[in-house]
Structure 1
Amino acid sequence: MASSNVHVRICEQEILKYDLEIKALIQDISECTGPQSKLTGINAEVKMNFHNLRLRIQDLDQMAMEQDKESEKQNLVIRIEGHKKQMQSNQTAWRKANLASKLSIDNMEKQELLNGADGAAVRQRKMTKEDLAQTSSDITENLMSISRMMAQQVQQSEETITSLATSSRTVQETNDEFKTMTGTIQLGRKLITKYNRRELTDKLLIFLALALFLATVLYILKKRLFPFL
């Protein structure tokens, strides 16, 4: 149990670390005004941190299922839900930061056009729009993947609850069978005791009958062999 608690603390420390790194990167995205390659690099780091964060939350969820005490399990489940909500909040902030960065880049494009930037610079800015569209598509795909993962987690939780309910019913049925067997054994014990008492009574009656018979035989023999006695 002590080893399990240590693993839980280590896992939660790593979750906190990834959470802080994501928040810092989101801040960098909010302040990014280009070039597009820089924004793409920051988003790649955010994706990696979200991936690692999800893995550690899954590990923590597994540790919760392995807890022996129900109170510790429920406490850990509550903390896991808090981590998931924080991850969802970071995802929302990530989307907003990318939109803010896109607006900033678009504004710079407009400013360059107004200042009479040459054709090469304009074409370069058009390319950055395409890159940003691709980045937005990647973010959407990543969020869809997260949604599917969370749906799978909900389904696994439902299956676990169903399995626990089935196990509880099985234990209750086994307990009822043991009670029935106990009553049968007690009844058998009473019958055996009663039979042993009856057998002892039968033996005593047979002994008395045999003694009476022998006494009668001796009396008859005495009268015939010694009539004058």
Structure 2
Amino acid sequence: MASCIEVHVRICEQEILKYDLDIKALIQDINECTGPLCKLTDLNSKVKVKLLNIRLRIQDLEQMGMEQDKESDKMALLREVEGHRKQMLSNQTAWRKANLASKLSIDNLEKEALLNGGDSALRQRKNTKEGMAQTSSNITESLMSMSRTMSQQVQQSEETMTSLATSSRTVLETNEEFKAMTGTIQLSRKLITKYNRRELTDKLLIFLGLALFLATVLYILKKRLFPFL
């Protein structure tokens, strides 16, 4: 258990040392920063993250010191915690001074640019206006081209719709013709079926008539040839 706590203490101390070195390096970068402001803001954001991390690790180290069984170990760790906090406060002070120096450098450079760059600024504004006019002209031409293209597309769409309407009417007419042909075919089929039935009935009647005729002839012959039978 004791060895495990010692390992955690060493890891915590190493992380505190690493964050402290990172903060010092960032403070040096801020001190040398001459702009732009977005770069300074980014450096300050990184310092804030590092300070938060080191503060949390110092709190962890303090908590582990309070949990020590031996009073001597406890006091030793709490002294280290106090030393780390003083170092953190020193870094914060150096951080504020570096920000002041950086902002002063940025302000001085901006003033020099305003004083020495008047003519170039006028030329730049002139060039900017000419560029904006050219850009506006290009945009107008592009819009006109898009309008012509859209008009052509609308005309093509109208022609396509007309073609589709004509095709639709042709399909409907063809469908009506098919329906009429289907009705004619069905009527013809019924007539053929009826004719076939009539033909069968006629054949049956002829056969019955012929049989009746033959029976009558045989009966007459029988009566005349064999009257006594």
The normalised TM-score by structure 1 is 0.51
Match of 1:77 in 2: 78
Q: Which amino acid aligns with 2:80?
A: R
**RMSD between aligned residues:** 1.6
Match of 2:9 in 1: 8
> Whole-Å Cα distance in 2 between the matches of residues 52 and 116 of structure 1?
44
- Give the superposition deviation at 1:110: 1.2
> Whole-Å Cα distance in 2 between the matches of residues 112 and 56 of structure 1?
45
**Of the two, which has the highest radius of gyration?**
2
Match of 2:87 in 1: 86
Match of 2:116 in 1: 115
> Whole-Å Cα distance in 2 between the matches of residues 94 and 10 of structure 1?
26
- Give the superposition deviation at 1:41: 0.5
Q: Which amino acid aligns with 2:45?
A: A
Q: Which amino acid aligns with 1:37?
A: C
> Whole-Å Cα distance in 2 between the matches of residues 81 and 51 of structure 1?
17
Please show how residues 60-75 of structure 1 align to structure 2 within 5 Å. Answer: 60-75=61-76
Please show how residues 200-211 of structure 1 align to structure 2 within 5 Å. Answer: none
- Give the superposition deviation at 1:63: 0.2
> Whole-Å Cα distance in 2 between the matches of residues 54 and 76 of structure 1?
15
Match of 2:200 in 1: none
> Whole-Å Cα distance in 1 between the matches of residues 24 and 105 of structure 2?
20
1:45 aligns with 2:43: no
The C-alpha deviation readout for 1:156-181, integer Å capped at 9, x for no partner, is: xxxxxxxxxxxxxxxxxxxxxxxxxx
The C-alpha deviation readout for 1:39-68, integer Å capped at 9, x for no partner, is: 111100000000101100010010011000
4+ runs of 1 displaced by more than 4 Å?
none
Match of 2:96 in 1: 95
Unmatched runs of 5 consecutive residues or more in structure 1: 122-229
The normalised TM-score by structure 2 is 0.51
SS in 1 for 2:103: helix
> Whole-Å Cα distance in 2 between the matches of residues 39 and 113 of structure 1?
21
- Give the superposition deviation at 1:116: 2.8
Please show how residues 1-229 of structure 1 align to structure 2 within 5 Å. Answer: 1-117=2-118, 118=121
> Whole-Å Cα distance in 2 between the matches of residues 95 and 27 of structure 1?
12
Unmatched runs of 5 consecutive residues or more in structure 2: 125-229
- Give the superposition deviation at 1:33: 0.2
- Give the superposition deviation at 1:113: 1.4
